[in-house]
Amino acid sequence: MSASPTITDYLKQCAAETDKALLESLPQHWEVPGTLRESMAYSLSAGGKKIRPALVLTAAEAVAGSLEARRQALPIACAVEHIHTYSLIHDDLPAMDNDDYRRGRLTNHKVFGEAMAILAGDALLTHAFYLISRGGREAGLEPSTMLAIVEDLSMLAGAPGMVGGQVADMQGEQGITGLSQLEYIHLHKTGDLIAFSAMAGGRVGGATERQLELLGRYGRTLGLAFQIQDDILDLVGDEAKLGKPVNSDIEGQKVTYPFLIGLEESKRLASKLTEEAKGCIQEAGFTRPERLLQLADYLIKRDH
Amino acid sequence: MSASPTITDYLKQCAAETDKALLESLPQHWEVPGTLRESMAYSLSAGGKKIRPALVLTAAEAVAGSLEARRQALPIACAVEHIHTYSLIHDDLPAMDNDDYRRGRLTNHKVFGEAMAILAGDALLTHAFYLISRGGREAGLEPSTMLAIVEDLSMLAGAPGMVGGQVADMQGEQGITGLSQLEYIHLHKTGDLIAFSAMAGGRVGGATERQLELLGRYGRTLGLAFQIQDDILDLVGDEAKLGKPVNSDIEGQKVTYPFLIGLEESKRLASKLTEEAKGCIQEAGFTRPERLLQLADYLIKRDH
């Protein structure tokens, strides 16, 4: 392992792999209104750490122990980035969080207008399923594997998953009463798509049912830890690194983990969840578990 | 055929079948925020003729010649209604058409607020793919059939299909220059989802590639005819029947077929397209083509 890249470099490599594939993900020969294409591409190419695609690729390789599985997982990695991107575009809308900036750039609706932002989000969401079905077929995935991935995504990104979490978050702004409500929000708004990413990679790699269950738990737990860490960074982070005003959540009356249980207890909880996530991977008996373990540590140690 | 129901009664029967299945389409045991569930159900149960689901069911039966194929097509019929419903919710938003009423009832965002309407639309769109993959599996469809349906839908409802048509429509409000632009809008905004419906039913029924092509042409042509007829009805229809002010499109400066080529020529074109659509069905050699032929006639003769 001594010669292999650090986890930071490894993640950059995953992001570059994904970015390259994303560029080609909307077929050039398709007759799509120019502004719609631009609006979709604008948000897809907005940077970001691409943690979810990295998880798809890494889980596929971890389970199968081969770079071939990783290659086959690439359209699925693009699909999850489409879903994540659409959710950010819709979240930023005036009717929702009303954000003008995202990752230091103007949000989609500030550039293309609200109607186009809504439609670009719809198109990205729909296109994710094209990438799984058509992209997966071209990558040589089995029909049953692709269908299981479609089913997982339709649940984990939908009403009982990510969208449900977003609704709960929105309603929570009118007053969160306790930890269980905050946990529900984070588990669904963030955890479900991360769980999907780990499981989808596992499916491509040929994971057993037990391994898929462990990958799902790994993802959900990691998603919760990630979100608590986000709350912590928001409290202690510095503006330049985050690209938004520190404490913006508290100013906006947003209830967070540090707000509810204190900063130190939040840190302890995030560490505990990270260890739990790593435990799932250790238990699963994968051929190449290292990167999944490092990824868990990376997420808790990141400073942005 | 003399004892069989009229096409109007037949369509009511299809709608009732679909409505019953739609009621059960979001699993009760799923933990979904109550308001999200209500918002989705509100628009799903808003009535409407359910032409698209009827086409799915009818095409399946036409191709396979069996009621069994029709039963298997039911989750796909529900999926297409989810897509249609989400597109109406998003179209009605203030940033888009800004409509307060739809089918005589308040639009989704007037009842549940803009944020919830956006999210309910997102959830319905996502759930369509659950209905195809999970619903289709429970109905005993082949994985390859379901995957082909996912792929078709992701294209025909996405950027190169329905969403692209919606974008073109929106941009066209700033000035449509000619027929080809109006045709592009209608073919994609309306035609693609109708084409999908006919093809998806065909796939369930086991259509050949040639038959699928003909079903696609039938749907696209019918979609265009449907939209021209809509333009005509909007011009000559009466308020009570349509549930919206007559001539609202012209007041809103919206360019229509009658506006561009005149009322009589529009009627002739709609008839010609309907005959073309019927020709596709006659050419395809289906076991039970009658209802597909009647459906084409019904759409052109309807007065609302």
CATH number at residue B37: 1.10.600.10
Length of chain B: 304
Please tell me the total count of domains within chain B.
Answer: 1
Specify the pLDDT at position B303: 73
Specify the pLDDT at position B250: 47
B167 vs A33: CB contact, 8 Å cut-off? yes
Q: Is A285 domain-assigned?
A: yes
Q: Is A1 domain-assigned?
A: no
Average pLDDT over every residue of A15-42? 95
With contacts defined as CB-CB under 8 Å, which chain A residues touch B141?
none
Instruction: Record the tokens describing residue A40, joined without a space.
Output: 């979709």
Which residue has better confidence, B175 or B161? B161
Average pLDDT over every residue of A158-166? 97
Specify the pLDDT at position A3: 67
List pLDDT tens digits, range A38-76: 999 999 998 889 999 999 999 999 999 999 999 999 999
Q: Is B1 domain-assigned?
A: no
- The minimum CA-CA distance between B141 and chain A, rounded to whole Å, is 12
Compute the Cα dihedral for A137, B223, B158, A187 and give only its sign: negative
Nearest CB partner across the interface for B133, out of A113, A123, A147: A147
Specify the pLDDT at position A1: 45
Q: Is B73 domain-assigned?
A: yes
In order, the DSSP letters of B74-121 are: HHHHHHHHHHHHHHHHHHHSTTTT--SEETTEE-HHHHH-HHHHHHHH
- Read off the pLDDT band of B47 (50, 70, 90): confident
Q: Is B215 domain-assigned?
A: yes
B119 vs A170: CB contact, 8 Å cut-off? yes
Please report the number of interchain residue pairs, chain A to chain B, with beta-carbon separation below 8 angstroms.
Answer: 165
With contacts defined as CB-CB under 8 Å, which chain B residues touch A134?
151, 154-155
Q: Is B2 domain-assigned?
A: no
Looking at residue B29, the DSSP 8-state letter turns out to be T
CA distances from A187 to A97, A180, A219, A230, B214 (A): 19, 10, 10, 14, 46
Own/partner contacts of B114-118, CB < 8 Å, gap of 24 or more, are B114/A95, B115/A93, B115/A95, B115/A96, B115/A170, B116/A167, B116/A170, B116/B35, B116/B36, B116/B39, B117/B39, B117/B89, B117/B90, B117/B92, B117/B93, B118/A90, B118/A93, B118/A95, B118/A96, B118/A118, B118/B90, B118/B93
The domain of A168 spans 7-301
Specify the pLDDT at position B1: 45
List pLDDT tens digits, range A224-266: 999 999 999 888 864 445 555 555 544 555 688 998 999 999 9
- The minimum CA-CA distance between A129 and chain B, rounded to whole Å, is 6
- Read off the pLDDT band of B4 (50, 70, 90): confident
- Read off the pLDDT band of B59 (50, 70, 90): very high
Length of chain A: 304
- Read off the pLDDT band of B235 (50, 70, 90): confident
Specify the pLDDT at position B246: 53
Average pLDDT over every residue of B4-29? 94
List pLDDT tens digits, range B273-304: 999 999 999 999 999 999 999 999 999 888 76
Instruction: Record the tokens describing residue B135, joined without a space.
Output: 């619903």
Are A172 and A180 in contact by the 8 Å Cβ rule? The answer is no
- The minimum CA-CA distance between A200 and chain B, rounded to whole Å, is 15
The residue type of B266 is: S
List pLDDT tens digits, range B242-270: 555 555 544 555 688 998 999 999 999 99
**Which region among A194-198, A259-263, A295-299, B62-66 has the lowest average model confidence (pLDDT)?**
A259-263
Average pLDDT over every residue of B186-212? 97
Could you give the CA distance from residue B9 to residue A204 in angstroms, rounded to a whole number?
Answer: 47
Q: Is A131 domain-assigned?
A: yes
With contacts defined as CB-CB under 8 Å, which chain A residues touch B29?
none
Q: HEC string of A240-286?
A: HHHCCCCCHHHHCCCCCHHHHHCHHHHHHHHHHHHHHHHHHHHHHCC
Proportion of chain B above pLDDT 90, given as a percent? 83
Q: Is B214 domain-assigned?
A: yes
With contacts defined as CB-CB under 8 Å, which chain A residues touch B123?
158-159, 163-164
Could you give the CA distance from residue B220 to residue B226 in angstroms, rounded to a whole number?
Answer: 10
